[in-house]
């Protein structure tokens, strides 16, 4: 069969021929019709336990042998995956797509939407609370901005590095304000505010400091909740822009996962990591169905980038460079 193949750790995938999966007890063979890439596919491609060569893992939509249209997560039996004409997946991870639901909605409400829905719900956002989404320009960020609104948040701010992608969030009405992150920061928003006041300088002149820039868009005391999709220095800056009692949930690590955290910045705040992948398949399936219903009811939208199935190498590079859109490839109608 034709597939996107990773030959060894660190390799960028290539398009080529790969052996077909064979039937196995407890698993379902799937003819894949739509496959997608996400930030997690890149971060997880070279982890321990992967056997090479392998198909790009990913999630997808396809048809089971009995004709059912199904969604499957990144749980294909190794070395198979979604960027291929066929895959094989444990039965519990193969879920029927409800009648009338578009392939792309079904795909996007899987790993991406579940990844932000669970930590947002865990944060128990109260009516009109302020929410900051770090890494808002990506697929998870776009969904998170919309879910925060659906959950009743008040001021919703998106932060990222790419100016045009941030502007697009404003144009689509997804964020009330956006903040461009500049990168490495070692400032303290309150100290900067004090310094700005002492010198009679408007805070805007301290814009090169991410913490101050975030604080500038927060309510007076700071954000109530931060959903952090990037970790690293942006997370450290965001903690400084929370109020006492603020909650920070981290689920991504594109900006690095080892941080030098000053515990004083966490005083009267909470920080946590809320994963979704370790939940039982039945729990994840119930969340996915709930999200599909929310997606239909509230018309949750995500910018899209459709690529030819054969162009896995280019698609991979685009995903690694943050495409600000959901990359998918159609394999069969």
Is 168 one of the binding residues for ligand NAP (CB under 6 A)? no
Q: Which is nearer to ligand NAP, 62 or 160 (CB)?
A: 160
Told to check if 189 binds ligand NAP by CB under 6 A, we report no
**Contact flag: residue 284 with ligand NAP (CB under 6 A):** no
Q: Which of 97, 131, 165, 226 binds ligand NAP (CB under 6 A)?
A: 165
For ligand NAP (CB under 6 A), the number of binding residues is 31
Please state the φ and ψ torsions of residue 138, each to the nearest 5 degrees: -80, -175
Q: Is 149 in the site for ligand NAP (CB under 6 A)?
A: no
First and final CA of the chain: distance in angstroms? 17
Q: In what order do the strands lie in the sheet with 2-6?
A: 14-17, 2-6, 54-55
- Residue 234 binding ligand NAP, by CB under 6 A: yes
Q: Is residue 110 within the footprint of ligand NAP (CB under 6 A)?
A: no
Q: Whose CA is closest to 320, among 43, 72, 51, 18?
A: 43
Should residue 162 be labelled a site residue for ligand NAP when binding is judged by CB under 6 A?
A: yes
Compute the distance between CA of residue 83 and CA of residue 12 in angstroms, rounded to an integer. Answer: 13
Q: How far is the CB of 296 from ligand NAP (least distance, A)?
A: 21
Given candidates 43, 50, 196, 318, which one binds ligand NAP under the rule CB under 6 A? 43
3 state DSSP class of 34: strand
For residues 12 and 107, give the distance between their C-alpha atoms in angstroms, rounded to a whole number: 23
Residue with tokens 């010198």: 199
Check binding of 160 to ligand NAP (CB under 6 A).
yes
Structure tokens at 246: 């603020």
Footprint of ligand NAP (CB under 6 A): 38-40, 43, 111-112, 115, 135, 137-141, 160-162, 165, 181, 229-230, 234, 251-255, 275-277, 322, 324
């Amino acid at each position: 069969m034709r597939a996107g193949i990773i030959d060894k750790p660190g390799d960028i995938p290539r398009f080529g021929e790969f052996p077909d999966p064979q039937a196995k007890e407890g698993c379902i063979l799937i003819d894949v019709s739509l496959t997608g890439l996400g930030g997690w596919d890149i971060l997880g491609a070279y982890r321990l336990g992967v056997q090479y060569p392998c198909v790009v893992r990913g999630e997808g939509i396809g048809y089971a042998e009995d004709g059912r249209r199904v969604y499957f997560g990144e749980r294909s039996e190794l070395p198979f995956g979604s960027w291929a004409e066929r895959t094989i997946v444990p039965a519990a991870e193969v879920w029927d797509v409800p009648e009338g639901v578009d392939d792309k909605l079904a795909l996007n409400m899987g790993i991406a939407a579940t990844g932000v829905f669970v930590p947002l719900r865990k944060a128990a956002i109260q009516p009109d609370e302020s929410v900051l989404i770090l890494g808002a320009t990506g697929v998870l960020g776009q969904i998170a901005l919309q879910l925060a609104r659906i959950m009743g948040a008040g001021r919703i701010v998106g932060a990222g590095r790419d100016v045009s992608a941030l502007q697009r969030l404003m144009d689509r009405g997804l964020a009330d304000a956006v903040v461009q992150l500049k990168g490495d920061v070692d400032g303290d928003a309150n100290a900067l505010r004090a310094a700005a006041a002492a010198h009679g300088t408007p805070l805007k002149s301290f814009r090169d400091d991410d913490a101050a820039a975030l604080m500038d868009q927060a309510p007076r005391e700071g954000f109530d909740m931060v959903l952090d999709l990037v970790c690293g220095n942006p997370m450290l800056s965001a903690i400084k822009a929370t109020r006492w009692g603020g909650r920070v949930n981290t689920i991504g690590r594109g900006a690095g996962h080892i941080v030098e955290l000053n515990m004083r910045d966490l005083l009267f705040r909470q920080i946590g990591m809320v994963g979704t992948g370790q939940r039982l398949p039945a729990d994840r399936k119930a969340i996915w169905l709930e999200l599909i219903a929310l997606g239909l009811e509230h018309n949750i939208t995500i910018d899209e980038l459709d690529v030819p199935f054969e162009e896995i190498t280019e698609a991979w590079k685009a995903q690694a460079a943050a495409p600000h859109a959901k990359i998918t490839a159609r394999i069969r109608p």
